[in-house]
């Protein structure tokens, strides 16, 4: 399906008119005249609640849909409403569809485009008797976004950004939803290599031999129990003019399957642990988008990728390992593997790239889900300015962050008798915080480091499947953060 911006309504096709709940009477009055519908009927049938749909059949065979967006819709509300509409209606739409955004206040083009593209996404990756692609989402499909000539220039920019994000995010959804027999550490590396070639940024993959040579002992220890080798993926996007630009270092947890290792998980819901690479998806996706949009900022993305499997060779509880930075770690629980591989990811980043800003993302703890549920990711940083900027970006995209403390009082939890640090406190309290304190040890006191625990946000229940599935959490958030950073440093 092809999308274009228009300033005039195309002569044929289905028409979608989004309706915000505020000032409803006057809008419905206009619509009743425009569509020659009796106002009282319209008022009775349509309250413009979010995702509410009224279908008006026309004599020419096409349809007009009124689509409720609810009161005071924000970016995420527009996105969700359109995703749901297109997901539900995709089989019933004609090849030509127009969305009338000419009366809408504010810049919603990006959210609407993302919503439409996501509406066409389905989870049936491996089904063999898939129904044919609906005509609207096929090559023959054509979507016109009707905007007012006044806002066309702004809309055009938002549209290009949205198409770039949507296309990248879709691939990340596929990677996240892929099971472990279709997705190994090398699969992530291959994706990055292809992307780097296509979009002009450099990608280096350290294979197992190289990890051994360079002594990434923490990553290697987690991978020990698996038949598939680990990798460290380094993606590096530099703008053409790289003088005086900030360097942002992003590190993402890339566990392609987490059995827990010897501290094995219970079997209920273990299958969901194919999604334990949500941090990696956010990082890889953001670097690709930065390159596509040619953002004037230097972004380095590092992904330690491995399985956490169980075998005779697996790391055992009590083992002491040596990380890339030389610090020793006592492994109390092999299921606390994310922080262990991030120790090397962060260590490698600070040693080789000295980024101005350092952010890691990880599906790190069940504890953050106990604290915040499925409505916000945990944000950990000692840097107030960074916290504020990330929170602002998050509020803009609707991928909420909530700050939790990382006071030094919590350091007690990770003190080991035998090693520099231990990977689990052994106590059922403040698990997300002690995990953050553990990571902090490997940032070499970076003054602008933030950790995002996205365990509850990367893979969740949605209206689009019966089981949890990928959300793409973090990609839009980080992209919007980078753009704010650029705007500020101008
Ligand atoms: N990948 C899990 C965290 C997780 C849990 C992500 C649920 C998404 C949904 C992580 O590796 C893990 O197992 N964490 C343990 C740590 C504990 C053993 C200290 C946890 O949170 O239970
Ligand atoms: Mn684990
Ligand atoms: Zn994990």
**pLDDT tens string 432-474:** 999 999 999 999 999 999 999 999 999 999 999 999 999 999 9
Strand partners, 145: 5, 99
Q: What fold characterizes domain 2-163?
A: 3.40.220
What is the Å distance from ligand 3's center to 24 Cα? 48
C-alpha 161/C-alpha 165 separation (Å) is 6
CATH architecture, domain defined by 178-489? 3-Layer(aba) Sandwich (3.40)
Which ligand ends up closest to the CA of 473? 1
170 is catalytic: no
pLDDT tens for each residue of 393-419: 999 999 999 999 999 999 999 999 999
Assess contact for 232 and 304: CB atoms under 8 A: yes
Instruction: Using the Cα atoms of residue 145, residue 147, residue 152 and residue 158 in order, give the sign of their dihedral.
Output: negative
The answer to whether the CB of 410 falls within 8 A of the CB of 434 is: yes
If one residue of 306, 366, 431, 456 were mutated to test the ligand 1 pocket, choosing by the most ligand atoms within 8 A of its CB, it would be 366
- Interval 291-323: pLDDT, tens: 999 999 999 999 999 999 999 999 999 999 999
What mean pLDDT value characterizes the chain? 97
| Torsion-angle region of 436 (φ positive above 0: left; ψ -120 to 50: alpha; else: beta) | alpha
In the DSSP assignment, the letter for residue 229 is P
DSSP of 315-331, one letter per residue? --TT-EEE-TTS-EEE-
DSSP helix/strand/coil, 397: helix
pLDDT in tens, 111-162: 999 999 999 998 988 999 988 999 999 999 999 999 999 999 999 999 999 9
* Domain residue ranges of the chain, discontinuous segments joined by +: 2-163, 178-489
- Is 117 a residue of the active site? no
């Amino acid at each position: 399906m092809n999308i274009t911006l228009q300033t005039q309504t195309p002569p044929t096709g289905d028409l979608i008119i989004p309706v915000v709940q505020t000032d409803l009477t006057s809008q419905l009055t206009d619509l009743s005249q425009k569509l020659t519908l009796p106002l009282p009927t319209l008022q009775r049938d349509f309250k413009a609640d979010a995702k509410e749909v009224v279908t008006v059949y026309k004599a020419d065979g096409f349809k007009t849909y009124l689509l409720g967006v609810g009161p005071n819709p924000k970016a995420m509300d527009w996105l969700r409403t359109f995703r749901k509409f297109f997901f539900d209606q995709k089989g019933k739409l004609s090849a030509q569809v127009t969305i009338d955004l000419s009366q809408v206040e504010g810049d919603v083009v990006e959210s609407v485009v993302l919503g439409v593209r996501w509406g066409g996404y389905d989870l049936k990756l491996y089904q063999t008797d898939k129904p044919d692609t609906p005509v609207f989402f096929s090559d023959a499909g054509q979507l016109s976004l009707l905007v007012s000539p006044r806002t066309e220039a702004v809309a055009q920019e938002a549209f290009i950004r949205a198409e770039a994000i949507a296309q990248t995010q879709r691939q990340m959804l596929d990677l996240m939803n892929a099971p472990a027999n279709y997705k190994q550490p090398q699969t992530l590396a291959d994706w990055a290599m292809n992307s780097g070639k296509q979009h002009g940024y450099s990608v280096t993959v350290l294979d197992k031999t190289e990890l051994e040579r360079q002594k990434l002992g923490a990553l290697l220890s987690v991978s020990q129990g698996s038949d598939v080798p680990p990798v460290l993926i380094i993606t590096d996007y530099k703008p053409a003019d790289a003088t005086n630009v900030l360097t942002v270092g992003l590190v993402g947890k890339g566990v392609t399957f987490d059995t827990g290792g010897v501290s094995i998980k219970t079997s209920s819901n273990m299958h969901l642990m194919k999604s334990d690479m949500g941090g990696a998806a956010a990082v890889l996706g953001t670097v690709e988008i930065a390159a596509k949009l040619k953002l004037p900022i230097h972004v380095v993305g590092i992904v330690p990728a491995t399985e956490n499997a169980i075998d005779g060779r697996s790391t055992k509880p009590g083992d002491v390992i040596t990380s890339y930075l030389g610090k020793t770690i006592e492994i109390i629980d092999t299921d606390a593997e994310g922080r262990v591989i991030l120790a090397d990811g962060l260590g490698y980043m600070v040693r080789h790239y000295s980024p101005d800003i350092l952010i890691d993302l990880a599906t790190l703890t069940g504890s953050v889900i106990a604290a915040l549920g499925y409505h916000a990711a945990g944000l950990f940083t000692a840097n107030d300015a960074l916290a504020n900027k990330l929170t602002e970006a998050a509020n803009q995209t609707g991928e909420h962050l909530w700050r939790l403390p990382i006071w030094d009082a919590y350091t007690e939890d990770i003190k080991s008798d035998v090693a520099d640090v231990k990977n689990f406190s052994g106590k059922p309290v403040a698990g997300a915080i002690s995990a953050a304190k553990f990571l902090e040890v490997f940032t070499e006191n970076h003054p602008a480091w933030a950790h995002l625990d996205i365990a509850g946000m990367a893979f969740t229940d949605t209206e689009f499947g019966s089981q949890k599935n990928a959300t793409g959490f973090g990609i839009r958030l980080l992209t919007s953060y980078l753009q704010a950073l650029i705007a500020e440093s101008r």
